[in-house]
């Protein structure tokens, strides 16, 4: 697929985020339990995003005396960025899964959970280093 084709597909995918009636018009109505399970998964992703965003604000606001400015900013921004990505990925995955359920296709595979786990693990290790060595400004 060319760059232009990928851009068009991405634009259409984002358009579906705000057009649930278009998603519902595809395929057949599934057993409602599948749609509700998909929604619960979406909400779990949103809770994860909120936790990451809250952690980013906590690092920025409450570790002012314990970290140098650049360490605090780097940790806070990484957590905030992870939260934003998690929100965007949550809605994208919800739409893709809902379409697959309605069309009787396999659920979409995603590398995002692994990437998010690695991000959280790296940030956790960075925070362990900060706590152990106490990088005070």
pLDDT tens track for 113-133: 898 899 889 988 988 887 787
104 phi/psi in degrees, rounded to 5? 70, 25
Which stretches of the chain score pLDDT less than 70? 1, 66, 135-137
From residue 83, alpha-carbon distances to 19, 60, 134 in Å are 23, 15, 26
Each domain of the chain, given as residue ranges in start order, spans 3-133
Q: What is the DSSP string of 88-106?
A: HHHHHHHHHHHHHHHHTPP
Three-state SS for 14? Answer: helix
Residue of 137, 103, 120 lying closest to 26 (CA atoms): 103
pLDDT tens track for 63-81: 777 678 888 898 899 999 9
């Amino acid at each position: 697929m060319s760059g232009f084709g990928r851009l068009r597909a991405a634009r259409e995918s984002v358009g579906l985020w705000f057009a649930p009636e278009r998603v519902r018009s595809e395929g057949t109505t599934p057993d409602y339990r599948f749609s509700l399970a998909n929604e619960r998964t979406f909400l779990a992703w949103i809770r994860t995003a909120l936790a990451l965003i809250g952690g980013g604000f906590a690092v920025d606001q409450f570790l002012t005396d314990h970290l140098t400015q650049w360490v605090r900013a780097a940790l806070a921004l990484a957590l905030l960025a992870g939260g934003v990505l998690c929100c965007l990925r949550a809605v994208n995955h919800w739409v893709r899964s809902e379409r697959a359920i309605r069309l009787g296709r396999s659920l979409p595979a995603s590398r995002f959970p692994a990437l998010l786990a690695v991000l959280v693990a790296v940030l956790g290790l960075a925070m362990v280093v900060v706590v152990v060595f106490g990088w005070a400004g």
